[in-house]
Amino acid sequence: MAARTLMVQGTGSSVGKSVLVAALLRILRDDGLRVAPFKAQNMALNSFVTPDGHEISRAQAVQAEAAGIAPTVDMNPVLLKPEAERSAQVVVMGKPVGRLSASEYQSYKLQLREVVAKSLERLVQRYDVVIIEGAGSPAEINLNHSDIVNMYVAKLAAAPVILVGDIDRGGVFAHLVGTMELLRDDERARVAALLINKFRGDRSLLEPGLEFLSRRVERPVLGVVPYIRDLRIADEDSVALEDRAAARPDHAGEIDVAVVKLPRLSNYDDLLALERTTATRVRFVETREALADADLVIIPGSKSTIADLEWMREVGLADALLVRAAHARPILGICGGCQMLGQKIEDPAGVESDRKSVDGLGLLGLRTHFGSHKRTAQVTARAWERCFLTAGLSPREVISGYEIHMGMIERIGKQAAPFEVLTRNGRNDADLDGAVSPDGAVVGTMLHGIFDNDGVREATLAWLRARKGLAQAPKSQFSFALSKQREYDRLAATVREHIDLALLRRLVGL
């Protein structure tokens, strides 16, 4: 039997659609249903690699994890990765098809409707319920003629729509009523219920507004979901960094990690496991002064490596990193950050930049060449060269991570490497990853998700504690994998408590 469908749309971006979809999936999964997420098109720099090597938005990978299933490319057939204000890399069915301007993409995307329809159909045939996420607002009247992600998908899936508004931003009643007013009659008919998200305060004070809202738009309010503090679930949207960037209260003996907040920073969920470890304080920084006292500086991934390297030079961060390296103070580069630490970055075909070649920071013996091939792979590896990432790892301990990059690195001379790659996408593929400086203070890796491995994270923190002259902490019982499952459970329990479950089941058709 084909799956039942339900769609979550919002009055705008960042109203909490992705998190609410994850919550609904978890709720229905816990009720014994086979469930899956779907988002036709996503715009995000936080991405993930499926087990078979396809790139999708991190949000849909998180939703799949909440649903208890492996992510597939059908869950997010179209991914846009912004490279500048008016252009993006377009990824279709997990592979890049080109770099298009906003106007070029508007002309191109109608060709993707068949791709969207086929992906949705495959999911519908495999699961009991498919929860669909919209993008931005369905009332973007200037773009509705070429819609492939909001009401077009609702109609395609014959899905009732929950319209979500964010009360934390203010003006939620105007946003909900205004959105309903701007929809066409056939689109408005698809909206089956409203939901208010991120509420803080006494709900009784909200009741008169809810009654007015329900009467005005002639739709029930499914629920009022409270603002969930310190929810540690990987997010696709850089808006989430504003909350995460605030420094946690300082504690004696805490390890201080400064992450360079690149303008085009990507895959910042690489740091989520470190943030959740009580021994660390993770800060996202943009000035050279903010690096001064850090125990470890991390240069994360970037969608525009050359442009972000030039930005670091402009604001003085590059010079600060060179001084830091000269004093053998630890620096870690991940993916684009690893490439920046090398000798040279070459992009002769203009794959990512208009600059054909630039010098790297010169701290690692690596050369990066951008070509037409994009590597997207789930990876297993093991420690190769001893450094702060691997100092406490057994040579037999297998770790996991994933690669997403256009730029391929070449090791210059007898450059040491932190990891030996064992497999890519399940196939044997012996290779060395990244590089380690001769003094071991500067390390680069192309692997995302390394700190999700409890062994790597604990080895790194133990090394940093020893370097700082701190007593070693007792062996941590913290498991990042288990902590994520607890967060999904906490999210689902909160949403379950604050929505009308009987109405939800009727909307789904149960």
Active site residues: 335, 448
- Cα distances from 356 to residues 41, 58, 348, 359, 423, in angstroms, run 31, 30, 5, 11, 32
Helices (H), 183-235: 185-188, 207-217
Helix segments in 137-226, DSSP class H:
151-157, 172-182, 185-188, 207-217
Gap between the Cα atoms of 375 and 370, Å rounded: 11
Strand partners, 265: 302
Q: Identify whether the C-beta of residue 81 lies closer than 8 Å to the C-beta of residue 47.
A: yes
Phi, psi of 22 (to 5 degrees): -60, -40
Instruction: Say how far apart CA 8 and CA 120 lie, in whole Å.
Output: 15
Structure tokens at 18: 């992705």
How far apart are alpha carbons 284 and 269 in whole angstroms?
Answer: 12
Q: Could you count the other beta carbons within 10 Å of the beta carbon of residue 225?
A: 23
Q: How far apart are CA 476 and CA 479, in angstroms?
A: 8
Given its phi and psi angles, is residue 11 left (phi above 0), alpha (psi -120 to 50 degrees) or beta? alpha
SS3 of 409, please? strand
Three-class DSSP labels, 69-121: CCCCHHHCCEEEEEEECCEEEEEECCEEEEEEEHHHHHHHHHHHHHHHHHHHH
| Distance from chain centroid for Cα 92 | 18
Yes or no: say if 213 and 194 are a contact pair by the CB < 8 Å rule: yes
